[in-house]
């Protein structure tokens, strides 16, 4: 797998039926090691180890229903009252972060109405803070620490 613009961590990789798998800390099982999953696992570890996000308040592949169709948010971060606060969308390193990627995560946010949207392809990371009163958003210079996300609530 390719090098990312994220800290490295001790990965647990195995092979099953000729396919490589990586251990997902949040789901507590091995999952197919795709380029997007490589990004997800690095980003989740970054949030846990460097930004103070509590593992118990994060979930991968969170199911939602959007316009009658089942969709999955790559990662959702909750506060202690289990209200969703962050949606994170991952793309493979070779996938450009585009308007379409933001449109995808914005559609998910129609359901969850979180305070922060994060998009990463492992090389570039974008975070925006929603302002529902003004119906706008602001791009942040860096990914906020968990205590900053929940301090206003």
Walking along the chain (153 residues) 10 residues at a time, the average pLDDT comes out as 89 92 95 96 97 97 90 94 96 93 90 95 95 91 93 60
Domain boundaries, the chain: 13-150
- The CATH class for the domain spanning 13-150 reads alpha beta
pLDDT score at 135: 87
Say whether 151 sits in a helix, a strand or coil: coil
Q: Are 16 and 22 in contact (CB under 8 A)?
A: no
pLDDT of residue 2: 83
State the pLDDT at residue 9: 92
User: What pTM, to 2 d.p., does this model score?
Assistant: 0.93
Sheet containing strand 125-131, strands side by side: 58-66, 69-78, 84-90, 116-120, 125-131, 136-139
- The rounded distance, in Å, linking the Cα atoms of 76 and 93 is 20
């Amino acid at each position: 797998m390719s090098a990312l613009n994220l800290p490295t961590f001790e990965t647990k990789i195995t092979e099953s039926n000729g396919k490589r798998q990586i251990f997902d800390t949040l789901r507590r099982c091995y999952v197919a090691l795709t380029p997007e999953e490589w990004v997800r696992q690095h980003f989740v570890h970054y949030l846990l180890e460097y930004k103070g996000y509590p593992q118990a308040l994060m979930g991968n592949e969170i199911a939602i229903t959007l316009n009658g169709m089942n969709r999955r948010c790559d990662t959702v971060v909750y506060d202690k009252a289990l209200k969703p606060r962050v949606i994170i969308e991952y793309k493979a390193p070779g996938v450009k972060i585009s308007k379409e990627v933001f449109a995808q995560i914005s559609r998910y946010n129609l359901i969850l109405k979180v305070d922060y949207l994060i998009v990463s392809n492992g090389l570039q990371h974008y975070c925006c803070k929603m302002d529902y009163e003004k119906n706008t958003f602001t791009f942040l210079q860096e990914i906020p620490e968990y205590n900053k996300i929940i301090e206003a609530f």
